[in-house]
């Protein structure tokens, strides 16, 4: 059949679009902590995500917001305690944490992203029952059970909503909270949440943004940055080189790789240009995790 010239161009474009969509790479970015507190940095992060989309990537963001939660709890005169990097979450604290993460951090982030050319959609794990959780049963170094309150462990993830949004060019921005089938809502460490979600949505790349260039062999000396680390080396460095906030970041990267993510890296979110330097310009930066 002979097609009208215009139609044939349209068909050709549609075909190309389909092809691009089918081969689109998906990047999940974890954004949190100190790299989040400066609004100017948030604008730059938005510009980086825009560049990724222009280059054909689908982008999903998971965010934390530790410093914002700390402020909210302080304001409400609720004491906050961390055990092994996890915030002990009493019900009264949970209410403030949920307000801070969904009502403040997520809402503000969405405004910044959408004022900077993106079509970002604010979510938490609760939406459409995307992420479900159970109470996390923590054990200390001696194997003794420790009650962390409403800290959750992810049980299921339904990637359907994320797939629909990404296909249409939206940027899902997900706060690290989920419901349990027991009627409780849970507070989940954002690194852990992000790594699990990266695996479940078949992300090609998982980028963890923090406030340093990567993992340093001798923290805080940036000249000792470790460019690549495999699972065996992670085990060797755990508790010696890998300390504090780096523990859940490294663990979530390894977890995501085990669940099929192709590349996992820690980059400096206070240097937002690192995102495209890594994903588009392929510069050798950050700390890359591997499982081989
Ligand atoms: N070996 C290490 N190399 C780099 N940073 C380290 C290392 N060990 C511990 N850290 C700490 O981990 C921090 C990042 O974790 P965290 O503060 O939880 O980040 P975020 O707030 O971005 O979630 C760094 O600022 C640093 O203080
Ligand atoms: C259970 C637990 O510790 N939850 C975290 C969730 C936020 C988070 O992880 O934020 P960052 O990524 O900014 O650290 C908390 O309450 O601080």
| CB 97 near ligand 2, within 6 Å | yes
Residue pair 33/67 in contact (Cβ under 8 Å)? The answer is yes
- Domain assignment present for residue 5? The answer is no
Q: Within its chain, how far is the Cα of 184 from the centroid?
A: 23
Q: What is the ipTM of this complex?
A: 0.98
63: domain CATH number is 3.40.1160.10
Residue pair 275/48 in contact (Cβ under 8 Å)? The answer is yes
pLDDT at position 141: 85
Binding residues: 65-66, 87, 187
List, for residues 123-175, the tens digit of each pLDDT value.
999 999 999 999 999 999 899 999 999 999 999 999 999 999 999 999 999 99
| CB 32 near ligand 2, within 6 Å | yes
- Domain assignment present for residue 53? The answer is yes
- Domain assignment present for residue 16? The answer is no
Domain ranges, residue 115: 25-290
| CB 35 near ligand 1, within 6 Å | yes
pLDDT at position 22: 52
**Number of C-beta neighbours around residue 107 at 10 A:** 13
List, for residues 86-110, the tens digit of each pLDDT value.
999 999 999 999 999 999 999 999 9
Decide if pLDDT at 117 tops 80. Answer: yes
- Distance of alpha carbon 260 from alpha carbon 282, whole angstroms: 21
pLDDT at position 34: 84
Work out the average pLDDT over 52-75: 98
* Cis bond before residue 220 (omega within 30° of 0): yes
| CB 210 near ligand 1, within 6 Å | yes
Closest C-alpha among 219, 143, 132, 168 to residue 59: 168
| CB 100 near ligand 1, within 6 Å | no
User: How many whole angstroms from 10 Cα to the centroid of ligand 2?
Assistant: 47
Residue pair 134/155 in contact (Cβ under 8 Å)? The answer is yes
- Distance of alpha carbon 240 from alpha carbon 20, whole angstroms: 44
pLDDT at position 199: 98
For residue 37, what are its two tokens? 């507190």
pTM: 0.92
List, for residues 161-188, the tens digit of each pLDDT value.
999 999 999 999 999 999 999 999 999 9
Mutate to test the pocket of ligand 1, among 32, 67, 176, 210 (most ligand atoms within 8 A of CB): 210
Number of structural domains found in the chain: 1
For the chain, what is the mean pLDDT? Answer: 92
User: Which residue's CA is the closest to the ligand 2 atom numbered 10?
Assistant: 64
- Domain assignment present for residue 184? The answer is yes
| CB 243 near ligand 1, within 6 Å | yes
Atom of ligand 2 nearest to the CA of 85: 3
User: Which residue's CA is the closest to the ligand 1 atom numbered 22?
Assistant: 210
Work out the average pLDDT over 41-51: 97
pLDDT at position 11: 41
- Distance of alpha carbon 180 from alpha carbon 144, whole angstroms: 24
- Distance of alpha carbon 100 from alpha carbon 247, whole angstroms: 24
Decide if pLDDT at 19 tops 50. Answer: no
List, for residues 71-87, the tens digit of each pLDDT value.
999 999 999 999 988 99
- Domain assignment present for residue 54? The answer is yes
33 pLDDT band (50/70/90 cuts)?
confident
| CB 66 near ligand 2, within 6 Å | yes
- Domain assignment present for residue 153? The answer is yes
For residue 160, what are its two tokens? 């359907």
């Amino acid at each position: 059949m002979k097609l009208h010239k215009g139609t044939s161009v349209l068909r050709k474009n549609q075909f190309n679009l389909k092809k691009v969509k089918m081969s689109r790479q998906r990047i999940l970015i974890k954004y949190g902590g100190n790299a989040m507190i400066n609004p100017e940095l948030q604008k730059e992060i938005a510009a980086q995500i825009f560049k990724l989309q222009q280059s054909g990537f689908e982008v999903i963001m998971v965010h934390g917001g530790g410093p914002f939660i700390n402020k909210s709890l302080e304001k409400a005169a609720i004491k906050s305690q961390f055990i092994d990097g996890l915030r002990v979450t009493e019900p009264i604290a949970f209410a403030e944490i949920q307000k801070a993460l969904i009502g403040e951090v997520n809402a503000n982030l969405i405004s910044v992203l959408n004022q900077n050319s993106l079509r970002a959609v604010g979510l938490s794990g609760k939406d459409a029952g995307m992420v479900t959780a159970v109470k996390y049963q923590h054990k200390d170094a001696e194997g003794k059970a420790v009650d962390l309150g409403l800290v959750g462990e992810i049980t299921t993830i339904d990637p359907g909503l994320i797939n629909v949004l990404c296909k249409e060019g939206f940027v899902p921005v997900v706060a690290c909270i989920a419901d349990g089938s027991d009627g409780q809502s849970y507070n989940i460490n954002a690194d852990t949440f992000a790594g699990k979600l990266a695996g479940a949505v078949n992300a090609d790349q998982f980028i963890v943004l923090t406030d340093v260039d990567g993992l340093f062999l001798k923290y805080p000396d940036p000249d000792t940055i470790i460019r690549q680390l495999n699972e065996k080396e992670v085990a060797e460095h755990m508790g010696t080189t890998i300390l504090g906030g780096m523990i859940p970041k490294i663990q979530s990267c390894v977890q995501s790789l085990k669940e099929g993510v192709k590349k996992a890296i820690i980059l400096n979110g206070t240097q937002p240009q690192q995102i495209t330097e890594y994903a588009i310009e392929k510069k050798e930066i950050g700390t890359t995790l591997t499982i081989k």
